[in-house]
Amino acid sequence: MKKACVVYYSLFNHVERLVGILDEKLEVDKYKIETNGNKFWVVFSQMFGFGKIDFPIVDLDNYEIIYLAGPVWNSKYARPLRKFFDKHNWKNKRIKLIISCGINQGKTVDLIKESLLISGGELITYKVFKNGEGDISKKIDELIG
């Protein structure tokens, strides 16, 4: 079994950068959720719940720890990451969250916690990053533990 993977979504590259730093420190397998096309259209179509999403194929059973990383949109994880979450079985999975926001995480953690409680997964820890502010490297170290 491999140590860790990160499944992530990033539209404006803040999350992409965080994932890069995590990868430098931990060498994780990276799986990116993609939405193609003009960014304005991506936001619009995702916010209204019909935007196309290209999901990576991930066998979550292969990993001791799964990092989920994504931006906050309207006080919860962006739709592409939530859709990935909904498509998978989280029973006995151990999860760490990377949350990137402009102001605050809103309901993001509470919603994931609630879903994991139902599906039998475990939220180990999480960190909230505000658009590249603060000591990112230190926070990622803390997240890795």
Which of 18/121 has CB closer to ligand FMN?
Answer: 18
Do residues 69 and 98 lie in contact, with contact meaning Cβ atoms separated by under 8 Å? yes
Q: Which is nearer to ligand FMN, 11 or 60 (CB)?
A: 11
Query: Of the two residues 16 and 141, which places its CB atom closer to ligand FMN in the complex?
Result: 16
Binding site for ligand FMN (CB under 6 A): 10-16, 43, 71-75, 100-104, 106, 131
**φ, ψ for residue 93 (rounded to 5)?**
-85, 145
Q: Are 69 and 6 in contact (CB under 8 A)?
A: yes
Shortest Å, Cβ 3 to ligand FMN:
24
6, 24, 26, 38 from 2: Cα distances, Å = 12, 16, 12, 36
Shortest separation between residue 105's beta carbon and ligand FMN, angstroms: 7
Contact 51, 71 (CB under 8 A): no
Closest approach, Cβ 120 to ligand FMN, in A, equals: 28
